[in-house]
C-alpha cells in the first residue's frame, strides 16, 4: 500500500504529470508487486523560489526538471526489490515523459504495517 508524493517545478502539462503517475505506478507494480487498484499518489508543483536542490550533490548533474518522489511503503521489501524499484522508475520516467535519470530523485520511507489506516478509522493491516 504505497503512498506516493511527487514534487516538481511548476509549468508541466497535465499529460506530463499523468505520465509520471503512470511510470511510478508501473515501476511499483513490477518491482513491489503493488496490486492494480492500489494507486494513492499526489503531485505538488512549486515555483522556482520554492524548489531548491543540490545541482551536483554526489556527482549527479541535476536540472530544473528534477522530480522528487517520496514513497511511503510497508517495511517488507528486500534490498534487491528497492534497487529494482529505483532503477525501473528512472527507466520508465525516461521513456515517458522523458525525464533524465539524473533528475529522478526517489526517497523510500518504510513503516510498519500497523501504521496505516486506509479508511473507516481502522488499522486494516494490524
* Structure confidence by residue, pLDDT tens digits, 20-43: 999 999 999 999 999 999 999 999
- Give domain limits for the chain: 3-115
- Rounded to an integer, the average pLDDT of 40-50 is 98
N-term to C-term CA, the chain: 13
Q: What is the mean pLDDT of residues 46-66?
A: 98
* CATH assignment of 3-115, among 3.30.429.10, 3.30.230.10, 2.40.10.220, 3.90.550.10: 3.30.429.10
Q: Is the pLDDT of residue 1 over 90?
A: no
Task: In whole angstroms, give the CA distance from residue 32 to residue 30.
Answer: 6
Q: What is the pLDDT of residue 95?
A: 98
Name the packing angle between helices 79-95 and 14-32 (round to 10°): 150
Is 35 a residue of the active site?
no
Round to whole Å and give the CA distance between 62 and 27: 22
Average pLDDT, the chain: 97
Query: Which one is predicted more confidently, 103 or 124?
Result: 103
pLDDT attached to residue 31: 98
- Of all residues in the chain, what percent carry a pLDDT higher than 70? 100
Amino acid at each position: 500500500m504505497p503512498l506516493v508524493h511527487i514534487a516538481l517545478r511548476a509549468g508541466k502539462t497535465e499529460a506530463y504529470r499523468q505520465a509520471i503517475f503512470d511510470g511510478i505506478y508501473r515501476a511499483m507494480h513490477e518491482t513491489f508487486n503493488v496490486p492494480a487498484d492500489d494507486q494513492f499518489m499526489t503531485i505538488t508543483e512549486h515555483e522556482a523560489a520554492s524548489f531548491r536542490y543540490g545541482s551536483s550533490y554526489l556527482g549527479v548533474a541535476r536540472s530544473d526538471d528534477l522530480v522528487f518522489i517520496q514513497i511511503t511503503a510497508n517495511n517488507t521489501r528486500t534490498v534487491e526489490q528497492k534497487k529494482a524499484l529505483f532503477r525501473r522508475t528512472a527507466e520508465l520516467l525516461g521513456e515517458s515523459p522523458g525525464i533524465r535519470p539524473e533528475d529522478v530523485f526517489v526517497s523510500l520511507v518504510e513503516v510498519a504495517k500497523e501504521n496505516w489506516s486506509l479508511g473507516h478509522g481502522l488499522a486494516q493491516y494490524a
